[in-house]
Amino acid sequence: MNTNIIETSGLTKGTGRQTRVNHIDLRIPEGCVYGFLGPNGAGKTTTLKLLLGLLKPTAGTITFFGQKMTDKNRLSIIKHTGSLIESPSFYGHLTGLENLQIVAKLKKVPAGEITNVLRTVRLYEQKDKRVKQYSLGMKQRLGIAMALLGNPRVLILDEPTNGLDPAGIQEIREFIKELPVIRQMTVIVSSHLLSEMEQMADMVGIINHGELIFQGTLAALETKGESLENAFLKMTGGSESL
């Protein structure tokens, strides 16, 4: 059984009525696609920002690669983590390749990695096109390519299929599923779409009102005769239209 590459204990952000994340205990195994599922406003983005050190927790601990994250070691830990939180930013007048070259210099990553990530996200043939001419799906893939530079051990993607058409969603989903195999990495992907998690994730965590109300494998749900959709609706009291 894979060891946990990320663990949190009592992870909390906020107090009282303003609590956005409430005592979350994540257990994310190495080499999996972990689906972080919940309605909009449930606390998904806040949790991911806490993992990345973009927000400071009110309480609790975060452990990456067996190391408890502190102010002193945060940067060395995050160095092995790639992320795409909210909308990626680009220079529209530059090509996809030129945008990646800028990021590679900032990350101090060898230029030779750029071709590799372009092929991984299936943008190599469009690398010389200006980004302002890219479709929304191509821009999302370029953002993920930027996150992949440096060959991180963990990739964190916040709602990467938001706003995409069905073809774009399928493209993103397919290569996310491939990443643990072809890049030997752990992928954490948040979504409010039940269908995406069912087709993409090995494990899921369901969050609602800042609380983690389920965590486990899809197989564990199936052995109980429960679908992810039914489990989500029961746990959140939601409707099929999230």
Structure confidence at residue 114 as a pLDDT band (50, 70, 90): very high
* Burial of 132 from C-beta contacts in 10 A (0-12 / 13-18 / 19+): exposed
Question: Which range has the top average pLDDT, 40-44, 55-59, 197-201?
Answer: 55-59
pLDDT in tens, 157-202: 999 888 788 888 888 888 899 899 988 999 999 998 877 888 889 9
| CB-CB contact of 148 with 115 (8 Å) | no
Nearest one of 146, 186, 143, 181 to 161, comparing CA atoms: 143
pLDDT the model gives residue 31: 94
pLDDT in tens, 75-87: 999 999 999 997 7
**For a pLDDT cut of 90, what percent of the chain falls above it?**
62
Does the structure show a pLDDT above 70 at 242? no
Nearest one of 163, 202, 198 to 179, comparing CA atoms: 202
The distance from CA 85 to its chain's CA centroid, rounded to whole angstroms, is 8
Same domain flag for 72 and 167: yes
Q: Of all helices (H) and strands (E), which one includes residue 10? A: strand 4-13
- The residue to which tokens 């494998």 are assigned: 217
What's the half-sphere exposure (Cβ side, CA atoms, 13 Å) at 76? 9
| CB-CB contact of 60 with 30 (8 Å) | no
In a domain, 231, yes or no: yes
Does the structure show a pLDDT above 60 at 56? yes
In a domain, 125, yes or no: yes
In a domain, 241, yes or no: no
At 69, which CATH number?
A: 3.40.50.300
| CB-CB contact of 132 with 169 (8 Å) | no
Same domain flag for 74 and 97: no
Backbone angle region of 182, left / alpha / beta, with phi > 0 → left and psi within -120 to 50 → alpha: alpha
pTM: 0.88
Same domain flag for 157 and 120: no
| CB-CB contact of 12 with 152 (8 Å) | no
Signed CA dihedral, 125, 129, 133, 136: sign only = positive
In a domain, 242, yes or no: no
Same domain flag for 21 and 51: yes
In a domain, 240, yes or no: no
Residue 135's domain comprises: 89-151
Mean pLDDT score across all residues of the chain: 88
* Burial of 110 from C-beta contacts in 10 A (0-12 / 13-18 / 19+): exposed
- The residue to which tokens 């599923």 are assigned: 177
Average pLDDT over residues 105-121: 91
Tell me how many domains the chain contains: 2
Same domain flag for 196 and 124: no
